């Protein structure tokens, strides 16, 4: 089973700033199309390892990054599930 996190953003520019921040911190991140399981709209999301969720949460809480939501994804061959993660983005 594969697990990872996906962050959605209010705009493409927020996604690009998030990628730049993560790269400057040498943290793994990949920009991807927004998965249909979380939104039918077009856009860019960021995928990062689940073990980086705590660090990303701290970056958001400190105001260094802005996201709409973060989802915990689980993939088991043909089955894909996404659950919204609680965090400081809920208050935005």
Q: Would you list the domain boundaries of the chain?
A: 2-91
- Determine the Cα angle at 9 with ends 6 and 10, to 5°: 160
Considering only the top CATH level, what class is 2-91? alpha beta
Q: What is the pTM of this model?
A: 0.91
92 has a pLDDT exceeding 80: no
40 has a pLDDT exceeding 80: no
Long-range contacts of 15-18 (CB under 8 A, 24+ apart): 15/43, 15/44, 15/45, 15/46, 16/44, 17/65, 17/66, 18/46, 18/65, 18/66, 18/67
Reported confidence tier of residue 91, pLDDT bands at 50, 70, 90 = low
Q: How far apart are CA 51 and CA 7, in angstroms?
A: 14
Mean pLDDT of the region 1-5: 92
């Amino acid at each position: 089973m594969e697990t990872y996190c996906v962050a959605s953003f209010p705009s493409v520019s927020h996604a690009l700033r998030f990628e730049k921040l993560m790269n400057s911190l040498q943290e793994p991140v990949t920009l991807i199309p927004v998965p249909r399981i979380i939104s039918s709209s077009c856009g860019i999301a960021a995928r990062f390892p689940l073990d980086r969720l705590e660090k990303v949460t701290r970056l958001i809480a400190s105001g260094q990054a802005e996201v709409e939501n973060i989802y915990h994804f689980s993939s088991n061959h043909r089955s894909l599930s996404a659950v919204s993660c609680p965090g400081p983005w809920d208050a935005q």
